[in-house]
Amino acid sequence: MRKKLAIIIAAVLIIGGGGVLAHRHFSAFEVDVHTVQEETVQKLVTGTGHLAGEVEEEIGARHSMVVQEVTVDAGDRVEPGDVLARGDTGDYEVEKKNLLAERDILRDEIANAKQSLPARLRGAESSLEAARENLREAEEDAETLKKLYESGAAAEKEYRQARLLVTSREAEVTNAEAAVQEIRTKDQQLSVQARRVDALQDQIDSVRDKIAQHEITAGSEMLVGEKLVSEGDVVAAGTPLFLLHSETMLVQMDVLAQDARNITVGDAAIVSGDAVGDADWEAGVSKVYPRAVERVSELGVRQRRVPVELKLQQMPDGAQPGYPVDVDIVVQQQTGLAIDRDAVFELDNADHVFVVRDDVAQLTEIVVALEGDDLVLVQEGLSAGDAVVVNPPAELDDAVRVRIDK
Q: Which domain holds residue 183?
A: 90-213
326 and 360 fall within a common domain: no
Instruction: Indicate the residue type of 3.
Output: K
Secondary structure (DSSP) of 30-62: EEEEEE-EEEEEEEEEEEEEEEEESSEEEEE-S
**Do residues 239 and 62 lie in contact, with contact meaning Cβ atoms separated by under 8 Å?**
no
In this structure, how many other beta carbons lie within 10 angstroms of the beta carbon of residue 199? 12
Q: How far apart are the first and last CA of the chain?
A: 28
pLDDT reported for residue 20: 40
Residue 189 β-bridge partners: none
Same domain, 60 and 108: no
Q: What is the pLDDT of residue 95?
A: 95
Evaluate whether residue 194 is within a structural domain: yes
Residue 103 lies in a domain: yes
Q: Does the residue 226 lie in any domain?
A: yes
Looking at the structure, tell me whether residues 349 and 380 fall in a common domain: yes
Beta carbons within 8 Å of 13's beta carbon, 6+ residues apart: none
Tell me if 291 sits within 8 A of 301, measured CB to CB.
no
Beta strands 360-371; 345-347: pairing state: unpaired
> Residue 389 burial by CB count (10 A; 0-12/13-18/19+): exposed, middle or buried?
buried
The candidate with the shortest Cα–Cα distance to 84, out of 210, 214, 211, is 214
Contact residues for 293 (Cβ-Cβ < 8 A; gap 6+): 254, 304, 305, 306, 307
Q: 303, 333, 363: which is the final residue of a domain? A: 333
pLDDT computed for residue 269 by the predictor: 96
Neighbouring C-beta atoms of residue 197, cutoff 10 Å = 18
Measured distance CA(371)–CA(386) in Å, rounded: 19
| Pair 104, 199 in one domain | yes
Give me the CATH number covering residue 133: 1.10.287.620
Helix pair angle (90-151, 156-213), 10° resolution? 170
Contact (Cβ atoms closer than 8 angstroms) between residue 266 and residue 284: yes
Instruction: For residue 308, count CB atoms less than 10 angstroms from its CB and return exposed for 0-12, middle for 13-18, buried for 19 or more.
Output: buried
Question: Is residue 235 located within the same domain as residue 258?
Answer: no
Q: Are residues 97 and 139 in the same domain?
A: yes
Instruction: Identify whether residues 279 and 353 lie together within a single domain.
Output: no
Per-residue pLDDT, 316 = 87
Same domain for 192 and 118:
yes
Closest by CA position to 216, among listed 196, 199, 241, 244: 241
* Entry pTM: 0.60
Q: Distance between CA atoms of 307 and 384, rounded to whole angstroms?
A: 41
> Which residues is 173 bridged to in the sheet?
none
The per-residue pLDDT for 189 is 83
Burial class, 284, CB count within 10 angstroms (exposed 0-12 / middle 13-18 / buried 19+): middle
Which of 195, 213, 231 finishes a domain?
213
What is the CATH number for 14? 2.40.420.20
| pLDDT at res. 27 | 63
94 & 209 share domain: yes
* Residues 129, 166 within the same domain: yes
Per-block mean pLDDT, blocks of 10 residues, the chain (406 long): 36 36 58 94 94 92 93 93 94 95 93 85 91 93 90 89 93 93 84 91 94 92 94 95 92 95 95 90 95 89 95 88 94 95 95 96 96 93 96 93 86
Supply the CATH number for residue 279's domain.
2.40.30.170
Q: Is residue 85 part of a domain?
A: no
Same domain, 273 and 231: no
Q: Which of 230, 238, 244, 315 is nearest to 74 (CA)?
A: 244
What is the C-alpha separation between 402 and 406, in angstroms, rounded?
12
| Element (DSSP H or E) covering residue 271 | strand 268-272
What is the number of structural domains in the chain?
A: 4
* Whether residue 316 is found in the same domain as residue 385: no
